[in-house]
Structure 1
Amino acid sequence: MLKISELRLHDVINVIDGKRLGMIRDIDIDVETGRVKSIILPGNTRFFNFLTKNEEVVVPWEKIVKIGVDVILVELSSTSQLQLK
């Protein structure tokens, strides 16, 4: 069993290009079913976050390939599959 607090300490890596996408910022849960819908990662920051809105990247749960001891592997064939929130 894995706790959400532990899940947030994992790095998220794209298996297609090996790029590190960051650590989980938040998790989107469907309250009716109790299932995780997506993980939310920090997006690109501009000008050191000074007077800019933080973007978030939403990765659908279906794109998660494997959750390991210290990393989460996702399969995103292109950055166009990333949803900005």
Structure 2
Amino acid sequence: METRIAELRYKEVISVEDGSRFGYVGDMEVDMDTGQVRALVVPGRRRFFGLLGREEDKYIPWSAVRRFGEDIILVEDHGSRRTPRRG
């Protein structure tokens, strides 16, 4: 199965442990020296319709990705981290 990076933005990230939904892939963290993907980045949810900003972005290590489906990406949540939004 061939997948383009742009197609990942249309896939929802879901935990295999409890079925919780993290949102849709917004970006990827890539090691520029090796070209390998380090993590998927899911933008934080908007607070009060976006008027109060967003929650922190969620970084899901590539090693936590378990399966790719047509519409979803299944991940193990215990390896994820949150990082404050920049700018």
TM interval, shorter chain, is 0.7 to 0.9
> When the two structures are superposed, what TM-score results if normalisation uses the length of structure 2?
0.83
Q: Deviations over 1:18-64 (max 9, x none)?
A: 11111001111101000000000022332222253552111111110
- Rounded to whole Å, the distance in 2 between the matches of 1:70 and 1:63 is 18
Runs of 4+ in 1 over 6 A off after TM superposition: none
Q: Secondary structure at the match of 1:58?
A: strand
Unaligned regions of 5+ residues in structure 1, if any?
none
Give the secondary-structure state (helix, strand or coil) at the position aligned to 2:77: coil
Tell me, which stretches of 5 or more residues in structure 2 are unaligned?
Answer: none
Q: What secondary structure is seen at the aligned counterpart in 2 of 1:12? A: strand
TM-score by length of 1: 0.84
The equivalences for 1:42-81 within 5 A come to 42-53=43-54, 55-77=56-78, 81=79
Calculate the aligned-residue CA RMSD, in Å.
1.6
* Equivalent-residue separation in structure 2 for 1:55 and 1:22 (angstroms): 12
Instruction: Provide the residue aligned with 1:19 in structure 2.
Output: 20
Contact persistence 1:45–1:55 (CA under 8 A): no
Task: Note closer, same or farther for the CA distance 1:16–1:46 as it changes in structure 2 (3 Å cut).
Answer: same
Q: Between the two proteins, what is the percent identity of the paired residues?
A: 38
C-alpha contact 1:64 1:75 (8 A) present in aligned 2: yes
